[in-house]
Amino acid sequence: MIFLLGDWISDWDGSINGWIVVIGCLCAASASLLGNFLVLRRMSMLGDAITHAVLPGIAAAFFISGTRNSMAMFVGAVIVGLLTAVFTEWIRSVGKVDEGASMGVVFTSLFALGLVMLVAAADHVDLDPKCVLYGAIDLTPLDTVWVRGLEIPRAAIVLSIVLVLNLAFVILFFKELKISSFDPALATTMGFSAKAMHYLLMVLVSITAVASFESVGSILVVAMFVVPAAAAYMLTDRLAVMIFFSVIIAVASASLGHIAALEVPTWFGFRSTTTAGPMAVVSGLLFLLAALFGPRYGVVVKWVRRQSLSWRILCDDIVAILYRAEERDTAMPGLAGLADELFASSLSIRSALLMLRRKGEIEGSDQPKLTPRGIDRARELVRSHRLWEQYLVVETGAETNRIHSHAERWEHFTDRPLRDELDRVTEAPDIDPHGSPIPPENKL
Amino acid sequence: MRDYNTRVVVLGVAMLGGSSGLVGSFTLLRRRALMGDALSHASLPGIALAFMLATTLGYDGKYLPLLLAGATFSGLLGVGCILWIRNKTRLKEDTALGIVLSVFFGAGVALLGMVQQMKTGNAAGLEGFIYGKTASMSAMDVRLIFYASLIAIALSFANFKELKLLCFDEGFAGSRGYPVVLLDVLLMSLVVLVAMVGLQAVGLILMIALLVIPAAAARFWTDTLWKMTAYSVILGTVGCVIGAMVSAVFPNLPSGAMIVLVCSFFFFLSMFFGTARGVVARFLRRRRLNRRIDRQHLMRAMYEQIEHPDRSDTSALKPGSEPVRKTKVSIDELLLVRSWNWKRLMAAIRSAEVDELMQYRHGHAQLTHAGFIEAARLTRQHRLWEMYLITYADVAPALVDRDADNIEHVLEPHVIDRLEDLLEEQELLFPVPTSPHELGDGLTSSEEGILP
């Protein structure tokens, strides 16, 4: 990593790379700010739809203004972007069409319309739809303006304005956005229009999409609308924290993406590649990390938690079976007997036994036998189980033959205070409904 | 049509439109209309990688089956990612699509950036996969589309019942023992199959449009799946043929865009005039229902008025007073009964007059004989339901009016029979039972009931 960074710094080519990273970060941050709300409102595909759909706006602006004035095109594109959202909503509500389908109808139709308009104007305009899709973030630093004696890329200025706008929007309307995203009906009863918030959000999404793809290409902005917010959603339940994380992830993927664009192709003998693509890929990798290892919802984390729970229950069941066998003075079940009774593979029984032996709760390898510590654990479980059975019969009048499965499930989650309470409610019984003795509480 | 090239294009897009209409109708019902969008984008890195591999190993990088294999591979990988994100994380379908679309496409763009530096092999034309080259489709493309369509049709017919269940009730399909995940993968593979052959022939946007628009348009015409599938296939085929022919006649117009525009024109036609769910059809159905409700309200109001000709005289409110059919009711009185405006009331009166249920002269309405029977029947229904609510649901008499008001219009004859049976057991049945609450105008009756 150090070498990589060293290489990269030595490659630093004037201020070009710096500006690319700055512009990428500005675009990523401003898109991800709004992206949180798109993800929460299940409108993640809107960014994609808008960036495809703005073509007729650009073409119409060209027809009307007659020049390639970027301001006119910007306004035209934003208007059509907003129209995409409006039409989608309109078809969804008027035609009762699924949201995704109405979006698909709208943006493909608008794109086709734009293509036809562009072809009609082809004789005197050199608008290239490819430029719209790929963007040219690598060329942005060359298009500069002078501000107070500083040479700054135009894209940096435009995107800074967009970022400030989005930031102000999110901060000023945080409460309104939050409520209208989670509960539009509540928002309406609280006296502000969820619809107005929706369309305000749409205006800003359009502005961000158009401003970004004009300078950095649609793929980056589409990715930044969705991926950082999705990654942040895997990490937290709080909206403010989610927004914070999403911006950090967005900025990180923009910066790392540029390094990747410069470095990764050289491993395969290429020079470097377009920057926007790797930025999107890095954000995807960061999402993968968050999805796998997020503290609460990460797939791996959840898997480990579930596995450890099922291990604990398996161990519980084993000691309880051994305890019961000892109690009835029947033969201790061997490995095969345990596997048979617990519907577990002999491998998992074997490893559970190993774990129990490590903890000093059983002894003997072929014929497992409870140690005093194991007996304590088993007694707690069996006591919980039989108290529950007693409770179900006494308090809820359940039939004796139907109580076992409930008690079997709850015994693993019953602690000392709950047992005492059960004991008190059922008036300290000595035997359970099946006639088995209820073991006494362990002495501390 | 004389031109060989035009014929090839028309044939190709017609088959493509048909098969994507078929596959699209399943994905639409599965609420995955934008799946095609995500998959088409996700195929790009596969194309670029296949090209790089082939050129590095010294083969022709643009050998079509190889590129298609690459596209299919990364498309299927994309499907896997979408299903994984949807099933294993807390994120929803749309976010899964968005992530896969942008990240895969980003990877594709990055790889293309590298491909363009390759000295061997000519990378130009790979973008054809994104923008398409509809007008210059080759016979080879058409053959590919033909095979893909055959497979798509065969597979979806063979699994029609299973796919239908998957689309409408995934949980039920699972509980009946159908392999839901496998079926899902099958459906998505069909999308990949059609999208991949279509993508290199007609480009990304047209492919997305063909997967979404015909199916969405067909949905307006029917509520039956096989009909919808058939309509969707027809709409897709016809839209493609017309679009391709228009662009053949006017060579200036790009054929892909024209096909999309023709299809979306069909969509808007269907949206408004579709017989099952179209806007006009739903509006008419709604208006018919509203008129029926207004008619029923009017008849009941008339009956209640002639039951108690003089509402200031409280003695008339006592149960069992005989209604007099020929009593004239002034429109002002009717206006007070419920919150309808003059215009709506007059419309209801006029339509009742046409059906010879009442006569209206000089601001006074009078029931005809047929009208009287109808009014008595409606009032009876209303009051039966009220009695039922009071007797069996323990609803306060002051509150039953509104509940009965909502439900009386949809009571079917067998429900009335059942109500009669129930009330007969309680010996509460009258020819037209008297109102269980005091009658007043709609605004004050409930208040009167609540006040002690």
- Note whether B44 and B169 are same-domain residues: yes
Confidence category of residue B130, pLDDT binned at 50, 70, 90: low
Task: Give helix then strand counts, H and E, for chain A.
Answer: 20, 4
Q: Which residues of B touch A112 (CB under 8 A)?
A: 205-206, 209, 256-261, 264
Which DSSP string do the residues of B213-255 spell out, in sequence order?
HHHHHHTTT-S-HHHHHHHHHHHHHHHHHHHHHHHHHSTTS-H
Query: Using the 8-state DSSP alphabet, how is residue B134 labeled?
Result: G
Domain of B60: which CATH number? 1.10.3470.10
- Note whether B189 and B296 are same-domain residues: no
Q: Which residues of B touch A113 (CB under 8 A)?
A: 257, 261
Confidence category of residue B447, pLDDT binned at 50, 70, 90: very low
Mean pLDDT of B38-50: 88
Q: Which of B204, B222, B249 is the last residue of a domain?
A: B204
For residue A330, pLDDT beyond 90? no
In a domain, B182, yes or no: yes
Mean pLDDT of A281-303: 92
- Note whether B199 and B61 are same-domain residues: yes
Q: Which residues of A touch B109 (CB under 8 A)?
A: 134, 217, 219, 274, 276-277, 280
ipTM reported for the complex, 2 dp: 0.84
- Residue B182 burial (C-beta neighbours within 10 Å; 0-12, 13-18, 19+): exposed
Domain of A312: which CATH number? 1.10.10.10
In a domain, A332, yes or no: yes
Confidence category of residue B365, pLDDT binned at 50, 70, 90: confident
- The C-alpha of B267 sits at a distance from chain A's nearest C-alpha, in angstroms, of 8
Confidence category of residue A114, pLDDT binned at 50, 70, 90: confident
- Note whether B199 and B294 are same-domain residues: no
- The C-alpha of A277 sits at a distance from chain B's nearest C-alpha, in angstroms, of 4
Mean pLDDT of B317-346: 74
Give how many domains chain A has, as a whole number.
2
Amino acid B377: pLDDT: 85
Confidence category of residue A246, pLDDT binned at 50, 70, 90: very high
pLDDT digits (tens, 9 = 90+) for B187-225: 888 998 898 888 877 888 888 899 999 999 999 999 899
For residue A1, pLDDT beyond 60? no
- Note whether A194 and A317 are same-domain residues: no
Contact A30, A212 (CB under 8 A): yes
Q: Which residues of A touch B257 (CB under 8 A)?
A: 111-113, 115-116, 119
- Note whether B49 and B149 are same-domain residues: yes
Q: Distance of alpha carbon A42 from its chain centroid, rounded?
A: 13
In a domain, B353, yes or no: yes
Q: Which residues of A touch B107 (CB under 8 A)?
A: 277, 280-281, 284
In a domain, A157, yes or no: yes
- Report the C-alpha gap between A352 and A314 in whole angstroms: 7
Pick the residue with more confidence: A273 or B271? B271
Out of A96-105, A426-435, B387-396, give the one with best mean pLDDT.
A96-105
- The C-alpha of A155 sits at a distance from chain B's nearest C-alpha, in angstroms, of 21
In a domain, A273, yes or no: no
Task: Report in angstroms the alpha-carbon separations of B296 from B115, B289, B299.
Answer: 74, 11, 5
Facing residues of B367 across strands? Answer: B358
Q: Which of B204, B227, B244 is the last residue of a domain?
A: B204
- Note whether A212 and A311 are same-domain residues: no
Task: Tell me phi and psi for residue A327, to 5 degrees.
Answer: -60, -45
Amino acid B317: pLDDT: 45
Closest residue on chain A to B257 (Cα): A112
For residue B32, which of B152, B236, B251, B192 has the smallest C-alpha distance? B192
Amino acid B446: pLDDT: 39
In a domain, A78, yes or no: yes
Non-local CB neighbours of A159 within 8 Å, separated by 6+ positions? A23, A26, A27, A30, A211, A212, A215
- Tell me the pLDDT of chain A averaged across its residues: 83
Q: Among A156-165, A219-228, A269-278, B286-295, name the one with the lowest average pLDDT.
A: A269-278
Pair of tokens at residue A359: 């903890």
Residue type at position A245? F
- Note whether B289 and B393 are same-domain residues: yes
Contact B298, B349 (CB under 8 A): yes
In a domain, A289, yes or no: no
Q: Which residues of A touch B260 (CB under 8 A)?
A: 108-109, 111-112
Helix (H) or strand (E) holding A145: strand A144-147
Mutate to test the interface with B, among A39, A41, A88, A98 (most CBs of B within 10 A): A98
Backbone region of residue A13 per phi and psi (left: phi > 0; alpha: psi in -120 to 50; beta: other values):
beta
- Note whether A191 and A327 are same-domain residues: no
Q: Among A337-346, B278-287, B307-316, B322-331, name the one with the lowest average pLDDT.
A: B307-316
Domain of B406: which CATH number? 1.10.10.10
Q: What is the dihedral of CA B124, B127, B129, B133, to 10 degrees?
A: -80
Q: Among A60-74, A418-432, B67-81, name the one with the lowest average pLDDT.
A: A60-74
Q: What pTM does this model have? A: 0.81
For residue B422, pLDDT beyond 80? no
Confidence category of residue B342, pLDDT binned at 50, 70, 90: confident
The verdict on a CB contact (< 8 Å) between A299 and B85 is no
Mean pLDDT of A58-70: 74
Mutate to test the interface with B, among A42, A133, A226, A293 (most CBs of B within 10 A): A226
Amino acid A8: pLDDT: 47
- Note whether B195 and B288 are same-domain residues: no
Domain extent at residue A31: 16-229
Amino acid B441: pLDDT: 45
- Note whether A133 and A225 are same-domain residues: yes
Q: Which of A178, A201, A229 is the last residue of a domain?
A: A229
In a domain, B93, yes or no: yes
- Report the C-alpha gap between B253 and B91 in whole angstroms: 41
Confidence category of residue A4, pLDDT binned at 50, 70, 90: very low
**Nearest-CB residue to B267 (from A100, A105, A217):** A105
For residue B220, which of A438, A346, A94 has the smallest C-alpha distance? A94
In a domain, A389, yes or no: yes
- Note whether A198 and A317 are same-domain residues: no
Mean pLDDT of B227-240: 94
Give A292-317 as a 3 state SS string: HHCCCCCHHHHHHHHHHHHHHHHHHH
Mean pLDDT of A57-64: 80
The verdict on a CB contact (< 8 Å) between A284 and B103 is yes
In a domain, B183, yes or no: yes
The verdict on a CB contact (< 8 Å) between A105 and B213 is yes
Confidence category of residue B450, pLDDT binned at 50, 70, 90: very low
Q: What is the Cα Rg of chain B in Å? A: 33
Out of A56-65, B70-79, B117-126, B414-423, give the one with best mean pLDDT.
B70-79
Q: Which residues of A touch B219 (CB under 8 A)?
A: 97
Pick the residue with more confidence: A88 or A118? A88
Q: Which residues of B touch A272 (CB under 8 A)?
A: 113
| Cα angle, residue B27 at apex, residues B26 and B32 outer, rounded to 5° | 155
Domain extent at residue B129: 4-204
Give how many domains chain B has, as a whole number.
2
The verdict on a CB contact (< 8 Å) between B34 and A103 is yes
In a domain, B255, yes or no: no
Helix (H, G, I), strand (E, B) or coil at A370: strand
In a domain, B269, yes or no: no
- Note whether A98 and A214 are same-domain residues: yes
pLDDT digits (tens, 9 = 90+) for B269-320: 999 998 888 899 999 999 998 888 888 888 888 888 877 655 444 444 444 4
In a domain, A414, yes or no: yes
Mean pLDDT of B80-85: 91
The verdict on a CB contact (< 8 Å) between B33 and A277 is no
- Note whether B301 and B443 are same-domain residues: yes
Q: Which of B167, B184, B204 is the last residue of a domain?
A: B204
Contact B81, B39 (CB under 8 A): no
pLDDT digits (tens, 9 = 90+) for B84-106: 998 888 898 889 999 999 999 99
- The C-alpha of A330 sits at a distance from chain B's nearest C-alpha, in angstroms, of 41
Q: Which of A229, A260, A283 is the last residue of a domain?
A: A229
- The C-alpha of A33 sits at a distance from chain B's nearest C-alpha, in angstroms, of 16
**Nearest-CB residue to A44 (from B98, B103, B277):** B98
Pair of tokens at residue B321: 């007073």
Pair of tokens at residue A289: 């990390």
Amino acid A126: pLDDT: 53
Residue ranges of alpha helices (H) inside B133-203 are 139-158, 160-168, 170-175, 180-202
Amino acid B196: pLDDT: 85
Helix (H, G, I), strand (E, B) or coil at A399: coil
